Amino acid sequence: MTPRIFDADLSGLTTALDPTQMAPKLGQLLATDSGTDPSAWRVVGVELLKHKPGRRCALAYTVDGPGGRRQLFAKTFKNDRGATILVNMSSFHTAISGTSLLVPQPLGYFPEIKMLVTEFIDGRSLATALYDGRSQEPARRMAAAAAIFHACGVACARKWNPKKEIRNTKEWITGLSGRSNGPTPRARSLLDALETAATEMPQDIGLSIHRDFYPEQIRDAFGVTALLDLDDTRAGDPAIDIANFLAHLTLREIQFPEAAHGCEIARSAFVDEYELRKHSEEPGQVPFAARVRFYHATSLLRLSGVYGARERWAALVPEKLLDACEGVVTEVVS
């Protein structure tokens, strides 16, 4: 059954959920990609994967046509950011060898419904194996994925730096994002300390960063590691991705205590593997480990705001994230 959702802020969603209207659009993309007749493709299934009301909606399409059945992944947005994501994804897909790290191939953008369409990456989440804690391999594969992505040489037009990191964190904990319940005195105090520390961090590192790197973004695509969701890619400091990954391990330990053992194994394996693979540091630069600590603290603080606005987790998660943040901030400012 085709899902039915109305979202006044996602003007293209009604069309996106209609197989009849989507068939000629997707057929045209597939015809360009495969040299087939656009009218030979029809949509036989639409699955709603994730809906963030007023912001975006992720969908999976099953289409039938010449050569058999295919799946496509799509996101429809509130604004035209999908057009920028298309350009960035194309650059990464070209720059990164699919045998070392699989990045979804972007297929097209429909401006009239604000929809980005990419190939669908099948496989299994590496996060599940990581949380099981049976092996270091998932964490090491994730670290390798981060290192390959950071070294790919794509020059993103949009940049990220410590000032933007602090501003984004502030928006999340103060309610300026519109998705938070506002700051606590404790969170405000931590933000003040990190705002001071930000002035000591390098502002102009410009390597490719994912900026939303955490275990659930990485899949095992039948033996090849795949990195998903390139919506927030920027030019910036790779320490951001490493720190965000570590902060999410802490988050998962809090949410799901049964995952604590796997997260502990993953933490050291991930850092060790990335250290073996990362770029050499420039003389005089703030050491990588110090930059990771700074961004680790900002990530924990930001996540406290994110989960403070989620009813299921608001009573438990934010305070424990602030506990963890305080410990890291002590190292940052010492």
**DSSP labels for 226-237?**
EE---TT-EEE-
**Is 6 a member of any domain?**
no
At position 270, the amino acid (one-letter code) is: F
Position 2 pLDDT exceeds 80 = no
Same domain, 113 and 238: no
* Residue 18: domain span: 13-119
Tell me, what's the pLDDT at 23? 96
Residue 167 and residue 21 share a domain: no
In this structure, the answer to whether residues 113 and 195 fall within a common structural domain is no
Whole-Å CA distances, 99 to 125, 224, 266: 18, 7, 24
pLDDT in tens, 81-110: 999 999 999 999 999 998 999 999 999 999
Residue type, 267: R
CATH number for position 72 = 3.30.200
Beta bridge partners of 249: none
**Of the given ranges (240-254, 277-291, 298-312), which has the lowest mean pLDDT?**
277-291
Residues 132 and 102 placed together within one structural domain of the fold: no
Question: What would the mean pLDDT of 213-232 be, rounded to a whole number?
Answer: 97
Residue 176: predicted pLDDT: 58
Give the residue ranges of DSSP H helices in 97-210: 126-132, 137-150, 162-174, 185-198
Q: What is the pLDDT of residues 176-188, one digit of tens each?
A: 555 555 678 999 9
Strands 234-236 and 207-209, by their bridges, are antiparallel
175: left (phi over 0), alpha (psi -120 to 50) or beta: left
Same domain for 246 and 133? yes
* Shared domain check, 228 and 132: yes
In angstroms, the CA 272 to CA 123 distance is: 26
Q: Cα separation of 64 and 270, whole Å?
A: 40
If one counts the domains in the chain, the total is 2
Residues 142 and 224 in one domain: yes
Q: Give residues with Cβ within 8 angstroms of 5, minimum separation 6.
A: 13, 17, 48, 51, 57
In-domain check, residue 260? yes
Average the pLDDT over 151-155 and give the result. Answer: 95
Given 119, 144, 161, the domain boundary residue is 119
Pair (131, 108) in one structural domain: no
* pLDDT > 70 in the chain, percent: 97
Q: What is the CATH number of the domain that holds 301?
A: 3.90.1200.10
Examine the domain organization and report whether 240 and 301 are in the same domain: yes
Predicted pLDDT of residue 44: 96
- Provide the residue count of the chain: 334
Listed residues 119, 143, 178: the one ending a domain: 119
- The mean pLDDT of 123-150, rounded to a whole number, is 97
Q: Do 162 and 99 lie in a common domain?
A: no
Residue 57 domain flag: yes
Asked if residue 2 belongs to a domain, the reply is no
DSSP classification of residue 54: T
pLDDT at 162: 98
CA dihedral 112→114→120→123, nearest 10 degrees, is: -160
Domain boundary among the residues 92, 119, 146 is at 119
Q: Are the C-beta atoms of 37 and 18 separated by less than 8 Å?
A: no
| The model's pTM | 0.94
Residues 81 and 42 in one domain: yes
Is residue 160 assigned to a domain?
Answer: yes
**5/183: higher pLDDT:** 5
Query: Rounded CA gap, 329 and 312, in Å?
Result: 27
Residue 1 lies in a domain: no
Q: Do 156 and 283 belong to one domain?
A: yes
Please indicate, yes or no, if residue 7 is contained in any of the structural domains. Answer: no
**Is residue 201 over pLDDT 70?**
yes
- Considering only CA atoms, give the Rg of the chain: 21
Residue with tokens 């699955």: 47
- Residue 77: closest CA among 33, 11, 133: 11
- Cβ atoms < 10 Å from Cβ of 301: 30
Residue 163 falls within a domain, yes or no?
yes
